[in-house]
Structure 1
Amino acid sequence: MQHEHFEKGVSCPRCVDKHTEEQKGRFREREKQVQLANLRGEQHVGCEADKIIEARRKEKLQRKEQQRATKK
């Protein structure tokens, strides 16, 4: 059983009172992004993440160019 003050990626019993609610909100958002990346089978940070971001950026640009071409 987990402690009532444990929140994965956000707080534990030792640090629960050491962070502001604003900080905890950032931690929650980061944990959410980590979980979403895991669901996609990707890393959230590191070299691989940089490559994934760049590939997505290129895909997005290609889609935009295709949309513009079909509107003409």
Structure 2
Amino acid sequence: MNAMHQYLFDTYRAAQHGERTPPLPGTHDVATLRALRDRRRFHAVLAGRPARGRLRTALSRRFHPKAC
């Protein structure tokens, strides 16, 4: 069963019980990803790490090591 099937079952059940229909699958995906990003940045700041640019810095260290 995929998300669309579950949505159809939930919509049918809500109609039978006189409740509101659930939101369509994927409606809040962007807000969820944004909240996850903000939470990771917050915890990085609390741990004393830079909140932005960590991936680019790590990749540049990996692929462009300083010549000794």
Q: Same fold (TM over 0.5)?
A: no
TM-score w.r.t. the length of structure 2 is 0.39
